[in-house]
Structure 1
């Protein structure tokens, strides 16, 4: 993947949002004419969802857009490795949802991650059942469906989206598809990429230690963590060090990492 202009890379605030929540939703990132072309193609497509990436020029054109490439480069660098892709389809009035899962077995990388891009070619309102995610769960490593027994968790969010939105998800985030209560079929295309280089300092690191960014981490608490909310916040602070490429920046609770000599 060729390098993009710095203006297309994610900002420090955007990357901090990803570090804290485990996903970043960029609304209406793709121009409407491409959305309309992709939506038409998806409705007419008769093949397997696993081959859509190879057979669709429009979906590849979308992922060649500078603003899309810039986001991907910010996560996995200039040399990403294709892992897999799939066109997910939830038919109208399909009232059964998925169980909570993470798209991975337990990963041995301390902080490295794959990125999963979820592209919505059409509006996906709440009643259409867009993907449900649990913010902040990306660093709580689990093995795929081992969390299927959990149903509704405080703080969970549906990725309600307008056409052209792409959600970029850490591969470890807990998520699940939701029932579609509408009369229209829901489509979402997922592309998963592995990093081809170390994932440090890949975004626009200007202001990564600014007061505005540091303030975001002061609020990086997720209610579902309960008594472990501070522990999770410290893990997020470690993740931020990794992403920034700065092993001294400390956004942890009361400077815990520095106090512990880390």
Structure 2
């Protein structure tokens, strides 16, 4: 199995992806299918589920040989450490053969650039068995898309006032509220300021609660995509979707909190 990434933007995106993942779990199962890479996992508290699919065409090259095992398990912390050791002029190469005990990661430098060096790592793989969750199709009552930088800024500000976010959606506005001992912060977002917005007409105003810590640390990132899609429904987890391009995506599902 061998995959490479040459494009600067995609290298940064790939590194950012594993930066987010390591905030959720210490161990991760990666499946290299015939035409895509697939990752699914959950945080230790079973509050947040992530589901990632990157098509083979997204990579510079994607080669799977007969006899190569489909699934490997990695330590997310050391994997991210290696991922973050790249420079602008490096090409990323991930490679293993058959049913390995190690995966080789290479940062190969541009031979025309002086002062750069190849970096080669052999990381020990973990022996962990895990099952995938079947994610059902859901008809959400409200969905919208917003700038990732803007929502990240808002989430950071909301955490100054509490650790729970109350979100309310109606036909005119999306309202985000956080409150605590220091007071309350409320953000009113007109639907005209959203990239996309839809809400089921025959529903009353949605009124849901989610943990801000999980949102900010595990789900919200500015480098995966310029836009983030949010989907909400009563009694369902919040869906947070990043479009990675070329039919690839990263989706987080965050369980709601009670309004007690």
TM-score by length of 2: 0.23
More strand by share: 2
Give the TM-score of the pair, scaled to structure 1.
0.23
